Amino acid sequence: MTDAAVSSRQSFAARIWRRTLDGVGVKLGLAWVGLLVFCAVFAPFIANSMPLLISRNGEISAPVLNYLAIEDVWILAGFFIAVAVSRLQLSGGSKFMLFLAGTGVAALIAHVTVQPPALVIYDDFRSAEYTQADWRIMPPIPYAPGDYLRDLGSKGLEAPFASDSHLHWMGTEENGADVFSRMIHACRISLSIGFIATGIALAIGIVVGGLMGYFSGVVDMLGMRLVEIFEDIPTLFLLLTFVAFFGRSLYMMMVIIGVTGWSGYARYVRSEFLKLRKQDYVQAAIASGLPLQSILFRHMLPNGVAPLLVAVSFGVAGAILSEATLSFLGLGVVDAPSWGAMLDQAVKSSTFNWWMAVFPGGAIFMTVFAYNLIGEAFRDAIDPKLSRRGGSES
Amino acid sequence: MNQPLLQVRNLRTYLRTGGEPVKAVEDISFDIAQGETFCLVGESGSGKSISALSVIRLLPEDIASHPSGEILFNGRDLLALADAEIRAVRGAQIAMIFQEPMTSLNPVLSIGEQIIEALQLHYPQMAMDEAEQRAVTALIQVQIPNPGERFRDYPHQLSGGQRQRVMIAMALACQPQLLIADEPTTALDVTVQAEILRLMRQLQDDTGMSMLFITHDFGVVSQMAHSVGVMQAGRLVESGLSPDVLGHPQHEYTRRLLASLPENLPKPSKNTFPSGQNLVWAETNKAQHHQGGLHSPTASSAVGVAANSLLPQSSLPADAVALEVSKTEPTASSDDVLLQIRDLKVWFPVKKGLLRRTVDYVKAVDEVSLDIPRGEIVALVGESGCGKTTLGRAVLQLEPVTAGSIAIDGQQVTGLSQRELRPLRRKMQIAFQDPQSSLNPRLLVETTLTEPMQVHGIGASRDERIELAAQLLDDMQLGREALWRYPHEFSGGQRQRIGLARALALNPEFIVCDEITSALDVSVQAEILQLLLDIRQRRDLTLLFITHNIGVVEYLSDRTVVMYKGKIVEQGMSAQVCGSPQHPYTQRLLAAVPRLVLK
């Protein structure tokens, strides 16, 4: 057996993944998303007003750790669990389950054990008495997103590099907080709302659409009525209503965007599956007695997924924009910064401050673009006709 | 009028698709005299359609070029004409009809409008009344019943044969001197094909037009052609008067093509094989000896019969052998039935209205009873829409059965849940017609072959299953490295082999072969048919071979079942059914088959 044959002997998923990475555009896209993930996970360590490490009177402490919020802890835990799990020799499904379980446990433990101080006065960390230390290590950006720098007499809306005394890479917003710091912390919302809302929508859409398309008949008829009902729900008004009743919560937003946004995916999957189920190779799979799971997800889905991927890359962008819309309406998450809310601030301030619009706007653009690049590469990877045969021919 | 109507001289057509130019037509020359039919015949990709399109200059000019050659039509070189001039020739003096009647008519215009449009394009001064009159006349010419009413019909209201008639009517409306027909009957049933061919001959007699007739079917050639050109890989390897070329082929390729026709394929009982196929056959015989002792005792009687017909009996003609078998057959088959179908109905409801009430049924398969004896090849013959494919799929429970029962090996197949059905799936498999859609384009051949094995617990490890799959490909005369390729890297014939390998992966007793050779060229068809006989022999298979090709039936099958409008109208031993058909429909079907039997 030749080397080429051996290298082809990977699982379906591994081959797809290898071929997805086989391009420049997708690498850039993944690099951007990777950067976002890094920023989102380590935001408290990148941009914060308190020192990472400080030594006072020979006593070394890490104030950042003391002030970590509950979600900071479980995002960190989730990240390290994901890294650890991906190194294990397990199948994709069990890896995912392990990751979910681990993160769940970590979240539970964080909720019980982590009790950050209810009130943080950032000014204290710059007080003369606090800075009297042997040495201290500050984060790269020494401002927390919610630190309005009142003690420094900030008047807000300071352009980048305008002040000599305090360096602000991207300037400050109207309340005086550092824009770069807010940008970094806002990665979390944009990433998570895009991934999770679209993930929820996609999971529901593929299952419902797949079953409709595969079984057709009565299942299809009932499913389509369900799709129509969900299409009639105005997502924005539902979000507004929920915000009014239950307050502002990022997670609720994700679930609502996800639960109401699957109908389009379901339609795509349904129409593809209706077309595919009469294909001879699907009939052959049925005739071979393959389990339904394999017929649906191995023989049909990869052949019907191309239009879905384009829809998904727009869906992720749409979810980010939905959140931006809500924030724009002033109904977004209050305490945490988001790119949408920052754009909103740029519009609202009396004068046009370019740094308030360019950085968050650019970030949204880059993110949507990155998802598009990845989606496109993935679409090409699952089409063997388009892929260059990675080494197995040469 | 001694000058031929069309003279093609040293025509070359090169196509630029991507990098290298494809030499689609290399230096061909032929003449078509007034009132004569010239048939261009060859396998797919031989350049016959490109030649025809070159004549009428329908190839896109940005990709096609003619480095040399001239096409003299009435003495004028068509290649030298300007665009406006060639448009005046096209349709008016040279008309063309295409293969696919379903797509060559515009679905949103009535057929009358389409004929009138063609007329008005070439005779702008023609009055509407006259155009309408001539369109109706054209429809009368092509024998459309009630042309006055059908005139306002839309294409979807017509059958395939009628659409092809309308296409011919459109082509003839302007009274062209030359009609180019590109596989005009390939998509049609044989009985319809016979009618269309008869019509075209009659129209030629009436109008004195010439025809350039493109086909891959030598039976059609023998009926239509005055002279024939055989094309291979862009070259005209042989041309001449039809009786000469068909009767005394000079070129090696022509001889090979003619020998590949199923009616000319050596019956398994004869020893005269065309060159190149000897090898296959020698292997088969070897395998037979090899596996002789492996047959199970229950199957031995059927195998005995099958092997009997395979023994060299060169003194007897093939028909006589089969007849002899048929005399001894009934007693043997009655107690060794592998597949038993009783009163099978597959009805598709026709639903209408707001509440989707069922107003009627399409009776695709209606009260069919059929016994398939173990170890035999049963051919299921019929025209498109007669329910033969539905029957094949219903056997495998790929179509819901309305009523009736199907039993394999005494076990009921109908009325089982998917879970209960799964162990039975191992016993019966299916191979499909269309090489394009029969394999999952996203899966390696290896996955396609080993996944069913894994599900059914064949082979202890992945490596063992891969080894089994490799052996299957060996059996199919494909290399092992085919395992690590995707379906789009194979030709149609190779894909059909992989499709067969997949059907064999579970080591079934029974395979439904649904028109597996219909989409293939004759030479590839011949290879697949021989391969099929070979594996059937080695693996003791029972086949339900669905086909519309009578030649294939005669070559391959032990028994023949004829279906018409959802019912079985005749069944019996193949030699009997094909030799002396009893039912009027069978007689009509057999009479319609164009044949070309070598002397």
Q: Report the C-alpha gap between A220 and A210 in whole angstroms.
A: 10
Average pLDDT, chain A: 81
Q: What per-residue confidence (pLDDT) applies to B2?
A: 62
CB burial of B526-546 (b: ≥16 within 10 Å; e: otherwise) equals bbbbbbbbbbbbbbbbbbbbb
Q: Report the C-alpha gap between B152 and A244 in whole angstroms.
A: 62
* A289 contacts B456? CB cut-off 8 A: yes
Q: What per-residue confidence (pLDDT) applies to B599?
A: 53
Q: Which of B:481-540 have CB within 8 Å of A?
A: 481, 483-484, 486, 488, 499, 502-503, 505-506
Q: Report the C-alpha gap between B458 and B460 in whole angstroms.
A: 7
Higher pLDDT among residues B353 and B295, named by residue: B353
Q: Report the C-alpha gap between A51 and A366 in whole angstroms.
A: 31
Is the pLDDT reported for residue A190 higher than 70?
yes
Interface test with A, best of B356, B416, B417, B440 (most A CBs within 10 A): B440
Give the rounded percent of residues in chain A with a pLDDT score beyond 90.
10
Question: What is the value of pTM for the model shown?
Answer: 0.74
Cα B537 to the chain's mean position, in Å? Answer: 25
Average pLDDT over residues B21-31: 88
Q: What per-residue confidence (pLDDT) applies to B512?
A: 93
Instruction: List the single range of B105-114, B124-133, B274-283, B480-489 with lowest mean pLDDT.
Output: B274-283
Q: What per-residue confidence (pLDDT) applies to A10?
A: 53
Q: What per-residue confidence (pLDDT) applies to A9?
A: 46
Average pLDDT over residues B384-401: 88
Give the rounded percent of residues in chain B with a pLDDT score beyond 70.
87
* A302 contacts B452? CB cut-off 8 A: no
* B455 contacts A281? CB cut-off 8 A: no
* B440 contacts A281? CB cut-off 8 A: yes
| B369 pLDDT tier (thresholds 50, 70, 90) | very high
Q: Report the C-alpha gap between B597 and B550 in whole angstroms.
A: 13
The span from the first CA to the last CA of chain A, in angstroms, equals 15
pLDDT in tens, B500-518: 999 999 999 999 999 888 8
DSSP lists the bridge partners of residue B559 as B378, B573
Q: Give the gap in angstroms from C-alpha A229 to the nearest C-alpha of chain B.
A: 19
Alpha-carbon dihedral B156, B159, B164, B165, rounded to 10 degrees? -110
Which strands, in side-by-side order, build the sheet including B567-573?
A: B428-431, B510-514, B542-547, B377-381, B559-564, B567-573
Q: What per-residue confidence (pLDDT) applies to B178?
A: 93
Is the pLDDT reported for residue B562 higher than 90?
yes
Is the pLDDT reported for residue A372 higher than 90?
no
- In which region does residue B37 sit, left (phi positive, over 0), alpha (psi from -120 to 50) or beta (all else)? beta
Tracing tokens 């049609």 back to the chain, one arrives at B188
* A291 contacts B430? CB cut-off 8 A: no
DSSP state of B63: T
The answer to whether residue A11 neighbours chain B at the CB level (below 8 Å) is no
Residues of chain A in contact with residue B486, where contact means CB-CB under 8 angstroms, are 384-385
pLDDT in tens, A48-87: 888 888 888 878 888 888 888 888 888 888 899 988 888 8
Q: What per-residue confidence (pLDDT) applies to B466?
A: 92
Residue A11 identity? S
As given in the structure block, the two tokens for residue B154 are 């839309």
Element (H, E) at B559: strand B559-564
Please answer whether residues B384 and B102 qualify as being in contact, where contact means their C-beta atoms are separated by less than 8 angstroms. no
Chain A and chain B share a number of CB contacts under 8 A equal to: 87
Residues of chain A in contact with residue B446, where contact means CB-CB under 8 angstroms, are 8
CA of B504: which chain A residue's CA is closest? A288
Per-residue HEC secondary structure of B99-166 comes to CCCCCCCCCCCCHHHHHHHHHHHHCCCCCHHHHHHHHHHHHHHCCCCCHHHHCCCCHHHCCHHHHHHH
Is the pLDDT reported for residue B283 higher than 70?
no
| A35 pLDDT tier (thresholds 50, 70, 90) | very high
Q: Give the gap in angstroms from C-alpha A296 to the nearest C-alpha of chain B.
A: 13
Residues of chain A in contact with residue B505, where contact means CB-CB under 8 angstroms, are 288
Q: Report the C-alpha gap between B119 and B173 in whole angstroms.
A: 7
Residues of chain A in contact with residue B451, where contact means CB-CB under 8 angstroms, are 288, 290, 294, 298
Q: Torsions phi, psi of A343, nearest 5?
A: -60, -40
Per this entry, what is the length of chain B? 599
Which strands, in side-by-side order, build the sheet including B403-408?
A: B357-373, B337-352, B403-408, B411-412
Q: What per-residue confidence (pLDDT) applies to A369?
A: 86
Q: Give the gap in angstroms from C-alpha B583 to the nearest C-alpha of chain A.
A: 33
As given in the structure block, the two tokens for residue B311 are 């023994």
Give the residue among B540, B512, B335, B522 at the shortest CA–CA distance from B433. B512
Please answer whether residues B431 and B503 qualify as being in contact, where contact means their C-beta atoms are separated by less than 8 angstroms. yes
Q: What is the largest CA-CA distance in chain B?
A: 82
Q: Report the C-alpha gap between A302 and A380 in whole angstroms.
A: 11
pLDDT in tens, B118-155: 888 888 888 888 888 888 888 888 888 888 888 888 88
DSSP lists the bridge partners of residue B30 as B8
DSSP state of A159: P
Strands B428-431, B510-514: pairing is parallel
| B543 pLDDT tier (thresholds 50, 70, 90) | very high
- In which region does residue B39 sit, left (phi positive, over 0), alpha (psi from -120 to 50) or beta (all else)? beta
Q: Which of A:58-97 have CB within 8 Å of B?
A: none
Average pLDDT over residues B442-469: 90
pLDDT in tens, A305-344: 877 877 887 788 778 778 777 777 777 776 778 888 888 7
Average pLDDT over residues B169-179: 88
Per-residue HEC secondary structure of B452-471 comes to HHHHCCCCCCHHHHHHHHHH
| A11 pLDDT tier (thresholds 50, 70, 90) | low
Is the pLDDT reported for residue B225 higher than 70?
yes
Q: What per-residue confidence (pLDDT) applies to A56?
A: 81
Tracing tokens 């679409």 back to the chain, one arrives at A379
Cα B42 to the chain's mean position, in Å? Answer: 14
The answer to whether residue A287 neighbours chain B at the CB level (below 8 Å) is yes
* A281 contacts B418? CB cut-off 8 A: no
The answer to whether residue B123 neighbours chain A at the CB level (below 8 Å) is no
| B335 pLDDT tier (thresholds 50, 70, 90) | low
Residue B377 identity? I
DSSP lists the bridge partners of residue B42 as B231
Is the pLDDT reported for residue B297 higher than 60?
no
Interface test with A, best of B438, B447, B464, B484 (most A CBs within 10 A): B484
Q: What are B583-592's contacts with CB under 8 Å, separation 24+?
A: B586/B562, B588/B191, B589/B190, B589/B191, B589/B381, B589/B383, B589/B550, B589/B562, B590/B550, B591/B194, B592/B190, B592/B191, B592/B193, B592/B194
Which one of A12, A279, A303 has the shortest CB-CB distance to B447? A12
CA of B418: which chain A residue's CA is closest? A289
| A228 pLDDT tier (thresholds 50, 70, 90) | very high
Is the pLDDT reported for residue B156 higher than 50?
yes
Is the pLDDT reported for residue B228 higher than 90?
yes
Is the pLDDT reported for residue B493 higher than 50?
yes
Average pLDDT, chain B: 82
Q: What per-residue confidence (pLDDT) applies to B304?
A: 37
Give the residue among B103, B107, B168, B95 at the shortest CA–CA distance from B138. B168
* A303 contacts B452? CB cut-off 8 A: no
Q: What per-residue confidence (pLDDT) applies to A168?
A: 81
Higher pLDDT among residues B370 and A129, named by residue: B370
Q: What per-residue confidence (pLDDT) applies to B212?
A: 94
Interface test with B, best of A2, A280, A383 (most B CBs within 10 A): A280
* B441 contacts A303? CB cut-off 8 A: yes
Which one of B428, B430, B483 has the shortest CB-CB distance to A284? B430
Alpha-carbon dihedral A64, A65, A70, A73, rounded to 10 degrees? 110
**Cβ atoms < 10 Å from Cβ of B442:** 24
DSSP lists the bridge partners of residue B14 as B23, B65
Is the pLDDT reported for residue B290 higher than 50?
no
The answer to whether residue B432 neighbours chain A at the CB level (below 8 Å) is yes
Q: Which of A:343-372 have CB within 8 Å of B?
A: none
Instruction: List the single range of B11-20, B25-34, B367-376, B536-545 with lowest mean pLDDT.
Output: B11-20
Is the pLDDT reported for residue B470 higher than 90?
yes
Average pLDDT over residues B553-578: 90
Tracing tokens 């065309």 back to the chain, one arrives at B274
Average pLDDT over residues B41-56: 88
The answer to whether residue A392 neighbours chain B at the CB level (below 8 Å) is yes
* B442 contacts A302? CB cut-off 8 A: yes
CA of A293: which chain B residue's CA is closest? B455
Q: What per-residue confidence (pLDDT) applies to A122?
A: 82
Q: What per-residue confidence (pLDDT) applies to A58?
A: 79
pLDDT in tens, A151-179: 776 677 777 777 767 778 888 887 788 88
3-class SS of residue B372: strand
Cα B143 to the chain's mean position, in Å? Answer: 26
Which one of A5, A281, A282 has the shortest CB-CB distance to B481? A5
Higher pLDDT among residues B568 and B188, named by residue: B568
The answer to whether residue B434 neighbours chain A at the CB level (below 8 Å) is yes
Average pLDDT over residues A17-24: 79
Residue B386 identity? C
Is the pLDDT reported for residue B469 higher than 50?
yes
Contacts of B336 (CB under 8 A, 6+ apart): B298, B299, B301, B302, B373, B374, B375
